[in-house]
Every structure is written in C-alpha cells, then in structure tokens.
Structure 1
Amino acid sequence: MSLFALLLLPFAYIILALLIKKASIKKRLAILFATANFLWALALIPLVQFKEMIVVQTGGWQAPYGITLVADKLSVFMLVMVAIIFLVTTIYATQAVDKERRKSGHYFFSFGILMGVNGSLIAGDVFNLYVWYEVMLMSSFILISLGGEKAQMEGSIKYLILNLISALFFVSGVGLLYGNLGSLNMADLSRIIANQPELLPQLNPALILMFVSFAIKGALVPFFFWLPASYHTPPPAVTALFAGLLTKVGIYSLIRFYTLFLYHDAPFWNQLILIMGSLSMIIGVFAASSQYDFRKILSFHIISQVGYAVIALGFYSVAGIAAAIFFLGHNMLSKTNAFLVAGWIKHHKGTLNLKTLGEVYKESTIWGVLFFISAFSLAGLPPLSGFVGKYLIIKAGIEANQLTVTLIALFVGLFTLFSMVKIWLEVFWKNKPRDKVVKAPLPPPKDHWMLTTSVVMAILIVAMGVWAQPIINFCEAAAFDLMNPDKYIEFVLGKS
C-alpha cells in the first residue's frame, strides 16, 4: 500500500475532478491531494533507510510473472523532489494560470503527469515503465496545448511528434527484449544478462532503441530540439512543472538502465554517455547565451544542466552517481524556481522579452533576490545547492581521471554564469527602455501565493547548499546500491 498510494492519490483526484463541477473546490482539492502526495513521499524516506528497498508484488503474483513496484533510495529521493515541485507549482498555478485554463482542466492533467511520473519512478518492469511514460506524455501534451493559442499549438505539435518517436523507439526496444529473453521484469533481465553475457550482442539493438528513447525524453544532444521549441509557449506555471519533472524522468531512467544493464558493456556506453553529456552542456549553454527571451534562455539551460548529470553517470563510480543524483535534485529546485520568477514577470509585465524589460529589482526587490538565488545556484556559486552539485561532479571527474570532461564542465559553468548575469542585468538592473514599455495589467494581479511558493523554493535551494551533508550521505548510499545490482535483484526476486 505504501507504493500504491503514489498512484492512487493522483488517480483519486482525477476521478473527483470529473465528478465535481465547481472550480474553487477542484482548486482546494488539488492543493490537498498534492500535499498528501508530498507527505506520503516523505514518509518513504525512513522506510528505505530501514528496509533498504520497498517491493510490492501486485495481485500476489511473484516476480518476474506479476507487476512489480520497487522503491529504492534513488526512487524515493526522486519521489520526494517530484512531490515538492508538484506541490509548489500547484499552489503557484492558483494565481499564475488564468481561470479559463483552470476550468478547462489544468489541475486534471497536472495530476495525470504526477501519476505518470510517480509510476515511472516505481516501475519494476520495462513495459509498465513504458505505460507510465505514455500517461505522462498524453497528459503533458494536453496541458502544453491547453488554451489553444497559436504559439502553443506550434510548440505542442513539435513536442508531441518528437515524444511519439521516443515512445516508438521505447516500445520497439521492449518488444525486442521480450522476444530475446522472455521477460520484462528489470531485476530478472539484469540477472539473465549477468549470468549470460554472451547474449549482449543480440540485445544491443533493443538497448540502443531504449537508450535513444531516454535521450529524447531527457533532451540530450542531438535529440533536444523539441524542448526549446515548446517549453516557452504554455503559461509559465506549466513550463515550471515541465522543467522540474519531465526531462528528469528521462535521466532517472537512463541511470536505472545503465546500472542494471548497460554497465556490462561499460567501455562503449561510458564513452557515448560522456560525449553526449559534454555536447549537451556546450551546445545548451551557447544556445542560451544567444537568446533574448527569458524562458528560452532557461529552456536551453535545461539541456546544458542535464548534461552535467549525464557526465557524472558516465564516470561510473559511487562518487559520480551520487553527484548525478544530488545534481538532479538541485536542478529540479533551482530551475523550477527560475521559471516561477519568470512567471511572475510575465504576470505583471506582460512580456518576457529582455529588450523591453528593466528596473524590476527597483520595483520589487524580493523578486530580484529570489531570481538571484535561483540563477546563481544554477551557475554554481556558493553557498547554494548548485555549488555543492558541481563540486561533487568535478571531484568525481578528477577521481575518475576524466580531466577533459571535467574541464569542459568548469568551462560551461562560466558561460552559465554569463547567461544568468545577462538576465539579471537586462531584466532587473538596467533602466527600462522608454520606447518599448509594455503596459502591465490593471489592476495589478494578485501574487501572494506566487511569492510564497517562490520564497519556499529559494529557502530549499539555500538549505540544500548549506546543510548538504545529510543529503550527500543519502545520495552516496543510493549510488552504492545502484553500483551493486545484485542487491536490487535479490530484493525483487528473492534469494535464489
């Protein structure tokens, strides 16, 4: 029941949203259910520390024959981060998303995304991982297109097409795996491959297809084009939700598959992952530096930032994987809050074009400080969470003797700082262009919940940097388990 609740809570809200017509009740229920999801995810932390893993065999069917739900330390860390992002963006949306969109199903489809993400993080077999990917895709496609504006429709079509291609690769890989091994349970697949390494050559087509699917979902080079073409088109509250969750599920899946299957051919996969991660960092940060739309800059930086987590995985050490996990958590907080600040500016100024903005710090110091914390955490400045995340990656890279990739990471960090300073100077510091003033809505829209959620996120970013050690310890324990797949196999399948 401890894992079922992560699926039942969002599903229960979806059912209630269909039955209840009053928008105000739907809004309150959304906050209530998002809070319950957060508390439930939080309660899993002591369970995995005590039991190490939580395994549920549905219907009494033992693995590998039934549907298995599994939560280890990696899953629980991601579930907690997802729950924080979802709760914050749900509250933020009460003022940042217009009433028409909320009436049309904003919360309904948001909870569809939550159910898909939670399901992906606890799926114990590759077919159900695919199913939850599809739940996530369909919900996110409708949410990104909700409102029907021209820019939204253009962005949502690009988003859908590339993600459908990803789904096609995924399901093709699933079919090939089942055809070759007769099983889809991840623990069972890992056991079979470990016992029969001679099967690897015939499994490579399936593994490559699934790797490409995860790379598309994670927006890695060269499969990233859908993200900057679509993330700036929906309301900023939607973009913040997407930035915090969707690409991170792709990277989570990559970590899970690498540590269960791909490590058997480490020389090939390590090099490929390091190259793709390095290119993602470089291309993402250079593309961001040339943009003048607030959200486009942040969107390109998603590509650059996931590259950091991927190169840390490519180091393939306990220190590297722990750094990747910590960095994912930091990025989920910092990137989401940067988009929340962008949403407030859009809400009050009516534009996110850097050339028409200015003097925001003078008009609202608190929002300037909130952006400063988020942006410079992304840039890796102490004592914020981004500094700790990048330090762990640099340290792991040196220990793994990957000096070239480590230098690239340091180099990209300087350009990330440049982009953040650019936004700060253009939006918050420079004098407002008098010939390009965009009138703000009158009267000024309410924003107390928007401000509250952003303040909470900023506090978490600072706390994750200042009190990082307990989180690092948890990430290292998660990485140690991931580096020992026999432990996962034994917990799921039992001792053989």
Structure 2
Amino acid sequence: MIVSLPVFLPLAFMIFAFLFRHYHGREYVAVGAAALNLAVSVILVLKTGSEGMLKVQMGNWPAPYGITLVADRFSAMMVLVAAIVFLATMAFSVHALDVKRKRFGFYLFAFGILMGVNGSFLAGDVFNLYVWFEVMLMASFILMSHGGERNQLEGSVKYLILNLISSFFFVAGIGLLYGKLGTLNMADIAAKLMEFDTMPPEINPAFILIFVGFAIKGALVPFFFWLPASYHTPPPVVTALFAGLLTKVGIYSLIRFYTLFLHQHGEFWQPLILWVAGLSMVIGVITATSQFDFRKVLSFHIISQVGYVVMGLGLFTVAGLGGAIYFLAHNMISKTNAFLVAGYVHRRKGTLSLKTLGNFYKEHPLWSVFFFISAFSLAGLPPLSGFIGKYLLIKAGIEAEYMGIALTALFVGFFTLFSMVKIWMEVFWKVEPENKKIKQRNLTNKADLKQSAAWMTWASGGMALVIVLGGVFATPIVEYCTQAAESLMSPQLYIDFVLN
C-alpha cells in the first residue's frame, strides 16, 4: 500500500482541486497535502532501508503481465527528495503567485507533475514509465504557458516541440523492444537479456532510441537547447519546481536502464556515457558564465550539474553510483532553492537582469545567506552537501583510473564557483546602478508584505537548512546511497524480487 500512495495522494488532491477550484483556501490545502506526501515518502525510505525492496502488483496481476510499482532504496530516495522540493515550492507559491494563476489551475497541474514524477520513480515497466513521462509533459506544458504572456508562449512552444520529439524516440524504442522481446516489464527484460552471452545486435536500435529520449528529457549535450530557451519564461516558482524535478526524472531513468540493461553492452555504452557527461559539464558551465540573467545562469548550470550525475553512472562502480545518487539528491534541493531565491529577488525588484540589480545583501541579508548556502553548495564548497557530492565523484573517478573525467569535474567546479561569485557580486554585493534602479514591487498592504515574506522565508530557509544538514551529517546519507548503488550493481536482486 505504501508504494502506491506517492502516486494516489497527488491524484486525490487533483480531484479536490478540480471540484473545489473556487475554494479560497486551496493553497493551504496544497501545502498540507505536500506535507502529507513528504511524510509518506519518509516512511517509504525507512521501509526500503530495512527491507530492501517493496512492490505492488496493481489488480493482483502477477509480473510480468500486470502493472508493477517497485520501490528500492534508489527510487525511494528520489521520491523523498522530490517531496522536499515539492513542499518548498508549494509553500513558496502561497504568496509568490498572483491570484489568477492560483485560481485557474496552478495547484491542479503542479500535483499532476508530482504524480508523474513519483510514478516515473516507481514504475516497474517501460510502457508505464512512458505514460508517467507524458503526464509530466502535459502538466508542465500547461504550467509553463499558464498566463499567456508572449515570452511564456515562445518558451512553451520550444519546450513542447523538443519534448514531443523525445516522446517519439522513447515510444519508438519501446515498440522495437516489445517486438524483439515480447515484454515491457523491466525485470523481465533484464532476465531475458541475461540469457544471451552478449547484447543481441537487433536490440541496440531500441536502446539507442530510448537513450536519445532520456538525453532530451535530462537536457544532456547535445539535446539541451530546449531548457535554457524555456526555463526563464514562466513565474520563478514554476521554474524552481521544474529545475528540481523534471530533468532529474530523465537522469533517473537513464541510471535505471543502464544498470538493468545497457551495462551488458558496456564496451559501447560506457565510453558514450562518459563523453556525454564530460561535454555536458563543460558546455553547460562555460555557457552559463556568459549569461547576465539570474535564471539563465542557473538554467545553464542544470545542464552542467546533470553531467556530474551521468559521470558517476559512466564510471559504473559502487563508489561512482553512490556518489551519483548523493549528488543527484543534493542538486535537486540546492538548485530548487537557488531558483526560489531568484523568485524572491524578482518579487522585490521586478527584474532578474544582473546589470540592473545590486545592493540586495544590505536590503535583505537573510535571503542573501539563503543564496550563499545554495549557490556555494552548487559550487562544491565545504561543509555543504555539494562538496560531499563532488568529492565522492572525483574520488571515484580517480579510483577507477578515469583521470580525464575526474579532472574535467574538478575543472568545471572552478567555473561553477566563478558563476556563483558573479551572481553574488552583481545581485547582492555591488551598489545598485542609480540610473537603472527598479522600483520595489508594491504588495497589497503591510500585512501582506509580512505574510508573503514569512511563507517565502520558511520555504527557502528550510531548504537551506537541508543543504547544510546534508553536508554536516553526510555519513548516514552516503551509506544509504552506497547501499542503493550496491543494489543497482546487482540487477539479479531486482529481477528475483519483481518476478518472484
């Protein structure tokens, strides 16, 4: 039962949001539902930590014939981190969004994204993974275009077209895979592939198509163009939600597929994965340094940061995979909070142009601390969680004797630090240009000002606290990630559990 709750709780709230769309307290119900989802996610992590794996056969149809939901340590951790991100963005949205957007569907489709994300993490068969991807795509497209502003519509069209192409590649690969193997259950596919000494060549086209689909979803080089062209267009809280969840589902799926299937043809896939990781890290970070919009800098860094995760996958060692899982969780939280701070800056100043901003540290010192924690965690400074993640990955690269990718990760870290210092100096430290000052946005009244600041402060402050705790108390988290990596490196455990 606990395995299916992360999917059915968002669905229940979506029904509520649709039936009571004129209810004025829906935002507070949304925060409560997000908190309940977090509680369920904590229980799921505790149960997988003690039992290893959990599963549900929907309709009591046995695998591989029915719909299977599977939770192992990896998927349970991703559900938990997604719940933390979602709760923070829902709390932030209470006063960060205008009444029109909240009234006409924001919470309905935000929970649609959560349902798609959780379904993707727990899916036990390839076709249902595709279905959950489409749930995310529909909900995220509506949120991105919600409001109808010109730049939103332009960004939404680019986002939709590229993601539809991704879906086409994915479903084409699924068709080829089913035609060759006669099954779409992940455990059953892995079991059938293990019967061969080497990966049958007729299977490779299916996996290549699916890989391209995941690479587009995950914004990996060379398929990343849609992300920086669209993520800066919706309201900042929507961007924060997208940055924390959407691309990470594509990366999660790539890890799942590689550890179950693709590693059997490692002589082809491992060099490709490492090259994609290295290019994503380098191109993403270098492009970010040339931007002068707060959100665009952070958006290009999404591309660079997912490269680190794929690097850990490409190493294909327990240390590398454990580091990748830890880094993925860290990045979801740190990146989301950096975008939340950008949303607060936009709320107060009405712009996110680095050239017109300044002096934010003196005006809002607490929010400057929140950004400092998030940004320099992304840059990898101790004792924050980002330092632990990068240390684990670089150490794993050196131990696996992949010095090139390890040095690339270290090199990219310096450029990431440069970008974060650039934002800090331009937005928080320098004197605001006299001839370019933007009038602070006027809220309805002083009570609304205090209330909105309180909701936003609790949301971002909570995320900043998680980032610090993730670094200071990293040992049990790293141990959990290492156990998850060991399970991923032993796919027979997954196969036996699901098909038992």
Distance in 2 of aligned mates of 1:138 and 1:454: 27
Q: What is aligned with 1:353?
A: 353
| Contact map agreement 1:218 1:248 (CA 8 A) in 2 | yes
Q: What is aligned with 1:455?
A: 461
1:79 and 2:99 aligned:
no
Bigger Cα displacement from structure 2, 28-37 vs 178-187: 28-37
- Match for 2:475: what amino acid? Q
Q: SS where residue 355 of structure 2 aligns? A: helix
Distance in 2 of aligned mates of 1:198 and 1:331: 35
- Match for 2:17: what amino acid? A
Q: SS where residue 356 of structure 1 aligns? A: coil
| Contact map agreement 1:109 1:140 (CA 8 A) in 2 | yes
Q: What is aligned with 1:310?
A: 310
Q: What is aligned with 1:483?
A: 489
Distance in 2 of aligned mates of 1:23 and 1:379: 42
| Contact map agreement 1:34 1:83 (CA 8 A) in 2 | yes
Aligned length: 494
1:234 and 2:240 aligned:
no
| Contact map agreement 1:173 1:206 (CA 8 A) in 2 | yes
| Contact map agreement 2:21 2:104 (CA 8 A) in 1 | no
Q: What is aligned with 2:365?
A: 365
Change (3 A) 1:469 1:198: closer
Kindly state the Cα deviation for residue 212 of structure 1 after the two structures are TM-superposed: 0.6
Q: What is aligned with 1:129?
A: 129
Bigger Cα displacement from structure 2, 440-449 vs 320-329: 440-449
1:288 and 2:288 aligned:
yes
User: 5 Å matches for 1:21-60?
Assistant: 21-60=21-60
Kindly state the Cα deviation for residue 279 of structure 1 after the two structures are TM-superposed: 0.4
Q: What is aligned with 1:392?
A: 392
User: 5 Å matches for 1:197-236?
Assistant: 197-198=197-198, 200-236=200-236
1:170 and 2:176 aligned:
no
Kindly state the Cα deviation for residue 243 of structure 1 after the two structures are TM-superposed: 0.3
- Match for 1:391: what amino acid? Y
Q: What is aligned with 1:106?
A: 106
Distance in 1 of aligned mates of 2:421 and 2:131: 41
Q: What is aligned with 1:139?
A: 139
Q: What is aligned with 2:478?
A: 472
Kindly state the Cα deviation for residue 73 of structure 1 after the two structures are TM-superposed: 0.3
Distance in 2 of aligned mates of 1:311 and 1:22: 47
Kindly state the Cα deviation for residue 199 of structure 1 after the two structures are TM-superposed: 5.2
Distance in 1 of aligned mates of 2:38 and 2:436: 43
User: 5 Å matches for 1:367-382?
Assistant: 367-382=367-382
| Contact map agreement 1:145 1:152 (CA 8 A) in 2 | yes
Kindly state the Cα deviation for residue 258 of structure 1 after the two structures are TM-superposed: 0.2
Distance in 2 of aligned mates of 1:200 and 1:31: 49
User: 5 Å matches for 1:331-342?
Assistant: 331-342=331-342
Post-superposition CA distance 1:179-235 (Å, at most 9, x none): 000000000000000112455211000000000110000000000000000000000
Distance in 2 of aligned mates of 1:294 and 1:46: 38
Where does the alignment leave 5 or more consecutive residues of structure 1 unmatched? none
Kindly state the Cα deviation for residue 58 of structure 1 after the two structures are TM-superposed: 1.2
Q: SS where residue 70 of structure 2 aligns? A: strand
| Contact map agreement 1:23 1:102 (CA 8 A) in 2 | no
Kindly state the Cα deviation for residue 25 of structure 1 after the two structures are TM-superposed: 2.7
Kindly state the Cα deviation for residue 24 of structure 1 after the two structures are TM-superposed: 2.3
Q: CA RMSD in A?
A: 0.9
Where does the alignment leave 5 or more consecutive residues of structure 2 unmatched? none
Q: What is aligned with 1:2?
A: 2
- Match for 1:328: what amino acid? L
User: 5 Å matches for 1:264-279?
Assistant: 264-279=264-279
Aligned with 1:492 (options 482, 494, 498): 498
Kindly state the Cα deviation for residue 338 of structure 1 after the two structures are TM-superposed: 0.3
Q: What is aligned with 2:69?
A: 69
Kindly state the Cα deviation for residue 419 of structure 1 after the two structures are TM-superposed: 0.3
Q: SS where residue 435 of structure 2 aligns? A: coil
Post-superposition CA distance 1:261-294 (Å, at most 9, x none): 0000112111001001100000000110000000
Q: What is aligned with 1:255?
A: 255
Kindly state the Cα deviation for residue 22 of structure 1 after the two structures are TM-superposed: 2.9
- Match for 2:485: what amino acid? A
- Match for 1:53: what amino acid? M
Kindly state the Cα deviation for residue 391 of structure 1 after the two structures are TM-superposed: 0.2
- Match for 1:470: what amino acid? P
Kindly state the Cα deviation for residue 51 of structure 1 after the two structures are TM-superposed: 1.7
Output the TM-score relative to the length of structure 1. Answer: 0.99
- Match for 2:376: what amino acid? F
Distance in 2 of aligned mates of 1:430 and 1:46: 46
User: 5 Å matches for 1:151-162?
Assistant: 151-162=151-162
Distance in 2 of aligned mates of 1:173 and 1:163: 15
- Match for 2:137: what amino acid? L
Q: SS where residue 55 of structure 1 aligns? A: strand
- Match for 2:454: what amino acid? H
Q: SS where residue 69 of structure 2 aligns? A: strand
Output the TM-score relative to the length of structure 2. Answer: 0.98
Distance in 1 of aligned mates of 2:493 and 2:12: 34
